[in-house]
Amino acid sequence: MVKLGNFLFRNRNGIFPLFYLMLFVPSWEVFSNPVIAMILGFSITIIGQLVRIITIGLVYIIRGGKDRRVYAEDLVSTGIFAHCRNPLYVGNILILVGLGVASNSLLFMAVFTPLFLLFWQAIVLAEENYLRNKFGQQYDEYCGRVNRWLINFKGLGQTLNSMEFKWKRVIIREYNSTYIWMTGAVLIIMKHFYLHEDQFDFQKNLPVFIVILVALLLLYFFARYLKKSRRLASD
């Protein structure tokens, strides 16, 4: 699993976008009413995004590795990392699982969701192997008091109140992934409108969808401009 995790870590930017494409592969539906699927799914996705926002806003951890390999300068154990060892990955999982539910795709939920979870588990095991070799007992003690996946809400309020939340860092670090999932969400809604014309008027709402997609794209480029021009510093 560690070898698989290292491979996935190196190639995740090429592999994980494929899961988004799988959201639109024709499949049997789970819910007879697509509105229920969208409400439930997007609720899960929003929770996942909130987890990521809170995590990054309180303390930032280098997520990109170094030379496409797992890497860490320090063992980050403050902020949300004091309540869960992998809160950013928890957010990632909730976002894509939520989109899978919203897409109402049995194929995605039954096949690609378990595969997605397996991939993240492998990456986490590879990271843990690296961190344990680098930080030794310090990391073992951290693992002993903090869950790998489940967020421990005990003392969370104190953590939030004791740290400065940095919105600028959230915008700079999250604009890309947020744009991707929000665009995916709009396309999922469009898919339901197109496939269920007995319930929705796709042609009438198409201009609205186009405006939303264009607005998201403009916001993406604006955030990118703020980052590249350093008009908005993350720290």
Over residues 92-127, the pLDDT tens digits come to 999 999 999 999 999 999 999 999 999 999 999 999
Q: State the pLDDT at residue 234.
A: 62
Specify the DSSP element, H or E, that contains 181: helix 167-195
Q: State the pLDDT at residue 200.
A: 92
Integer Cα distance of 163 and 160 in angstroms: 6
The predicted model gives 71-83 an average pLDDT of 86
Structural domain spans, the chain: 2-164
Enter the CATH code of domain 2-164.
1.20.120
CA distances from 35 to 55, 84, 116, 190, 212 (A): 30, 32, 25, 12, 19
Tell me how long the chain is: 235
Integer Cα distance of 27 and 25 in angstroms: 6
Does residue 67 carry a pLDDT above 80? no
The residue among 123, 125, 131, 133 whose CA lies nearest residue 72 is: 131
Higher pLDDT, 117 or 12: 117
Instruction: Kindly state the DSSP code that residue 83 receives in the 8-state scheme.
Output: T
Structure tokens that stand for 74 in this block: 């320090």
pLDDT in tens, 144-180: 999 999 999 998 889 888 888 888 889 999 999 999 9
Among 5-9, 118-122, 208-212, 227-231, name the one with the lowest average pLDDT: 5-9
Q: Is residue 18 within 8 Å of 112, Cβ to Cβ?
A: no
Does residue 139 carry a pLDDT above 80? yes
What are the φ and ψ backbone dihedral angles of 128, each rounded to 5 degrees?
A: -60, -40
Q: Is residue 146 within 8 Å of 73, Cβ to Cβ?
A: no
| Residue 63 pLDDT class (50, 70, 90 cuts) | low
Instruction: Kindly state the DSSP code that residue 82 receives in the 8-state scheme.
Output: G
Integer Cα distance of 73 and 76 in angstroms: 9
Q: Is residue 60 within 8 Å of 235, Cβ to Cβ?
A: yes
Does residue 65 carry a pLDDT above 70? no
